[in-house]
């Protein structure tokens, strides 16, 4: 019989693809459902740790805050991100809203304009705070990075349009490539300094690159190998130098790249939208279960949003029954839980994980 483990030990077993006392559990959310869950538990709007504990979450994220100057000036009628220069505005929907990109300042930029676009320096982040952040995580599994770390297509698309970024990648545009390399090198060095500052307390690196649509790949495998993989490998190599595993986020139909992920030294994949092509849980478990760990798979476009609490519990139970054998599964939403998910459904998801997710 497996003994009771700490959250950190539980997640370490997940990366080794070994059964633990129970499956690890994670939580990623939009702001509206986050507020509703905190209200349900009687927590303040800022009590993030209280909510994570109430849901039984095993993961905690850390990273340095930016302390440098604002690199991009405000503009009338639009919200400008002072660090990256994204231009957006708030768009309401039936259940909440999103900060949507509305202008693309680099859409028609020349190579020289791309080269002059201000990007942060790795010197402008407070690495001294990382150790203190880790110290507050106690027995939990600690990661740095997130689904947007390393993400070339989405990051560049917010400045240049998605269409132009895909053209840039296909045409191997030199100016765009130099711009991307500046961005990647900044992130890699920031990750390296973060891991050094943590002094061994960070358990894994989380990176991402959206590679799929709902019906198939977003780009070809040869293009991934020529334009994305070498840059992504830099992050994996930094993690290897610090002897920690890597988990990669990729939306949509992305299993076509999983063999490459394995070759690169990536240990776990995140998101795992079950409704996307070639992403059925049974297929992923059979095809990759002995070589990759899986994080996600509870669809934010399925019963969690549109079903009853009982249907959510049944979906979680079925997923656990399929993915738990042999270890290597962490229960999490396929994306951030959306504001259209009823509070009772989200609670049912975590209650079912506690009820059915044990190996003991």
As a whole number, mean pLDDT of residues 197-209 equals 98
pLDDT (0 to 100) of residue 298: 98
Residue 255 inside a domain? The answer is yes
Contact 332/28 with Cβ under 8 angstroms?
yes
- Does residue 253 sit within a domain? yes
Which residues, in sequence order, are CB contacts of 301 under 8 Å at separation 6+?
273, 275, 334
**Residue 228 forms part of a structural domain:** yes
Measured torsion, CA atoms of residues 120, 180, 270, 81, in degrees rounded to the nearest 10:
40
Candidates 9, 29, 61; CA nearest to 206 is 61
pLDDT classification of 234: cutoffs 50, 70, 90: very high
Q: What is the pLDDT of residue 2?
A: 61
pLDDT digits (tens, 9 = 90+) for 291-341: 999 999 999 999 999 999 999 999 999 999 999 999 999 999 999 999 999
Is residue 133 in some structural domain?
A: yes
Q: Tell me the pLDDT tens digit for each residue of 146-185.
A: 999 999 999 999 999 999 999 999 999 999 999 999 999 9
Average pLDDT, the chain: 97
> What pLDDT does 1 receive?
43
The full DSSP string for 23-35 is --B---B-HHHHH
What pLDDT is attached to residue 66?
Answer: 97
**Mean pLDDT score, 55-59:** 98
Residue located via tokens 């991100």: 81
User: Is the residue at 80 inside a domain?
Assistant: no
Residue 234 is part of a domain; what is its CATH number? 3.20.20.210
Residue 54 lies in a domain: yes
The string of pLDDT tens digits covering residues 244-298 is 999 999 999 999 999 999 999 999 999 999 999 999 999 999 999 999 999 999 9
Number of domains in the chain: 1
Does residue 75 form part of some domain? no
In the chain the beta strands, taken as DSSP E runs, fall at 59-62, 65-66, 79-80, 87-92, 97-103, 125-126, 141-145, 204-208, 246-250, 268-271, 293-298, 329-333
Domain that holds residue 170: 7-68+110-356
Whether 181 is in a domain gets the answer yes
């Amino acid at each position: 019989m497996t003994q009771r483990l700490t959250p950190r030990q539980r997640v370490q077993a997940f990366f080794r693809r070994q059964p633990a006392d129970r499956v690890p559990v994670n939580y990623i959310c939009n702001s509206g459902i986050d507020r509703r869950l905190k209200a349900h538990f009687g927590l303040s709007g800022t009590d993030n740790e209280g909510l994570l504990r109430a849901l039984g979450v095993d993961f905690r994220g850390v990273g340095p805050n930016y302390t440098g100057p604002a690199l991009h000036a405000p503009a009338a009628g639009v919200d400008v991100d002072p660090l990256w220069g994204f231009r957006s505005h708030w768009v309401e929907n039936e259940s909440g809203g999103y900060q949507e990109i509305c202008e693309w300042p680099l859409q028609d930029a020349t190579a020289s304009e791309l080269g002059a676009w201000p990007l942060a320096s790795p010197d402008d982040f407070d690495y001294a705070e990382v150790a203190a952040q880790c110290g507050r995580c106690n027995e939990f599994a600690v990661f740095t990075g997130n689904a947007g770390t390393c993400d070339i297509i989405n990051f560049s698309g917010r400045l240049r349009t998605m269409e132009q970024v895909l053209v840039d990648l296909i045409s191997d545009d030199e100016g765009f490539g130099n711009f991307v390399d500046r961005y990647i090198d900044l992130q890699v060095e920031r990750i390296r300094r973060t891991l050094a500052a943590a002094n061994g307390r960070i358990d894994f690196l989380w990176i991402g690159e959206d590679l799929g649509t709902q019906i198939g790949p977003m780009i070809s495998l040869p293009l991934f190998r020529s334009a994305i993989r070498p840059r992504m490998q830099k992050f994996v190599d930094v993690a290897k130098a610090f002897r920690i595993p890597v988990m990669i986020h990729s939306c949509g139909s992305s299993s076509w790249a999983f063999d490459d992920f394995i070759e690169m030294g990536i240990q776990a994949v995140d998101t795992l939208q079950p409704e996307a092509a070639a992403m059925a849980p049974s297929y992923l478990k059979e095809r990759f279960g002995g070589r990759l760990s899986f994080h996600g798979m509870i669809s934010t476009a399925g019963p969690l949003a549109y079903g009853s609490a009982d249907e959510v519990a049944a979906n979680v139970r079925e997923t656990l029954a399929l993915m738990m054998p042999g270890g290597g599964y962490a229960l999490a939403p396929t994306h951030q839980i959306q504001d259209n998910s009823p509070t009772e459904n989200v609670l049912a998801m975590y209650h079912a994980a506690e009820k059915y997710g044990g190996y003991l």
